[in-house]
Structure 1
Amino acid sequence: MDLRDRILDVARRLTLEHGTIPSLNAVAEASGVSKGGLMHHFPSRAALVDGLARRALDEIDLAMREAAADGRAAAAWLGLSVPRGDDLDLFRAMAVAHRALEGPESGVLADAAAAIARWERLIADEVGDPVRARIIRLVGDGLAGNALAGLDDSVADVDLATLLDHLGVADRRP
């Protein structure tokens, strides 16, 4: 694991422990690197938030590509749309921090939009209908939004198989 990944791991852990994105000093200390070493990779707290967000996008991208290869893109999207446990806590902290820290130099929102379009295409390839793919994607967005905002605790208990059935998609999970 390279230093950048180690720093992101520590920042993620500290975010989960404290419920907020940590200061650069806290990340440097917990990572065992100098602040200059940290700032080489993440020159600001906003850059650290972007790094965490880009890592999350990469993880979701990998999960979606693997699922699409198995004909499960729709099921994977809806499953990923209900973050649980540590992921839910991390996403909530990142959402708050990203809005507060986002600057004009940040391209993570554009990258997220491109990734979402890519994932929707994977779903469309699976279901054979771009409109149905959009509906599935938007249902996932709604599930995620409710989970992140804490508006509906029952979202965590969503029956994915039933939801997929109502959306006209077979659940092909192994």
Structure 2
Amino acid sequence: MAVVPVPDPAATRKRLLDAAWRVLTRHGDQPLSLDAVAREAAVSKGGLLHHFPTRAALIDALYERWNDDFNAAATGRALADSRPGRWARAYLDVGSERAGPPAETTAELGFLAAVIADPERLRRLRERYETWQDRIVQDHLDPVAATLVRVAADGLWLADLLGLAPPVGELRGQLLAMLRDLATPGGSGTDPAAPGGIGTSPSQPSEPPAHRAPAPSPAAPA
């Protein structure tokens, strides 16, 4: 007698989440359809509902995976770096690598719209950001410089996601290098005494102006 394989619940769950993301890549501007996800995953509607009884449950699971993927990548990057400022650098590096092809952008936009529209999901997202902010500013780095790196990384991600004139090419490389410099102790951007460094007031140059000889008196009229 042939043995009928028992479906692996974890594998089926992953299959459904992967299918949901693919549906979002094609229809991110529309509410996520459970019927479409079941068809995409080649799973019965009942099988989908066994794992995700509601559309909200499916979106919650997508949200958790999206967050967990970022946290795992950034945490792994930080733990592999023993220098102060590692959390800010990891956040910047992983965040700047999130930009994907247009289909992925469509999926992420549709997904984020669903997250923002739900107060509970938005609350959890804000808590995750608070956790990262705490890690970044408590990592022996100037808190102003550290926070600037984080919000710049977030801004770069949103510029990529929404197509808001995102920096590309050499300009992008220079921008990321400057932000990494801010996130590195001893970098010129973190030294208050360095020209343009954090803490340098525009009205107070970091170096005194060169001595200038007094202008000659105007010649006396003839």
Give the TM-score normalised by the residue count of structure 1: 0.78
More helix by share: 1
Matched, 1:135 2:148: yes
Matched, 1:5 2:5: no
Q: CA deviation at 1:113?
A: 1.7
Moved over 6 A (4+): none
Q: CA deviation at 1:99?
A: 4.0
Deviations 1:104-129 (A, max 9, x none): 5xx32222222222222332343434
| 1:162–1:44 distance in 2 versus 1, CA, 3 Å | same
- Give the structure with higher Rg (CA): 2
Q: CA deviation at 1:155?
A: 5.7
Deviations 1:53-108 (A, max 9, x none): 211100111112112212342222123333322443332221234345x3x5xx32
Q: Is the 8 Å Cα contact of residues 42 and 48 (structure 1) preserved in structure 2?
A: yes
Structure 2 unmatched runs, 5+? 1-9, 186-222
Q: Is the 8 Å Cα contact of residues 123 and 133 (structure 1) preserved in structure 2?
A: yes
Q: 2:33 corresponds to which letter in structure 1? A: S
Q: CA deviation at 1:22?
A: 3.6
Partner of 1:51: 61
Equivalent residue for 1:116, pick from 114, 129, 135: 129
Q: Is the 8 Å Cα contact of residues 73 and 126 (structure 1) preserved in structure 2?
A: yes
Q: Tell me the distance in 1 between the aligned counterparts of 2:142 and 2:21.
A: 37
Structure 1 unmatched runs, 5+? none
Q: Is the 8 Å Cα contact of residues 27 and 107 (structure 2) preserved in structure 1?
A: no
Equivalences for residues 21-170 of structure 1 within 5 A? 22-71=32-81, 72-82=86-96, 83-86=98-101, 87-99=104-116, 102=118, 107-154=120-167, 158-159=172-173, 160-165=176-181, 167-169=182-184
| 1:73–1:128 distance in 2 versus 1, CA, 3 Å | same
Partner of 1:15: 24
SS of the residue corresponding to residue 150 of structure 2 reads helix
Q: Tell me the distance in 1 between the aligned counterparts of 2:126 and 2:110.
A: 20
Q: CA deviation at 1:162?
A: 3.0
SS of the residue corresponding to residue 151 of structure 1 reads coil
Q: Tell me the distance in 2 between the aligned counterparts of 1:85 and 1:70.
A: 25
Q: CA deviation at 1:150?
A: 1.6
| 1:113–1:15 distance in 2 versus 1, CA, 3 Å | same
Deviations 1:114-166 (A, max 9, x none): 2222222332343434333222221122212222222113268622223322x
Say how many residue pairs are matched.
165
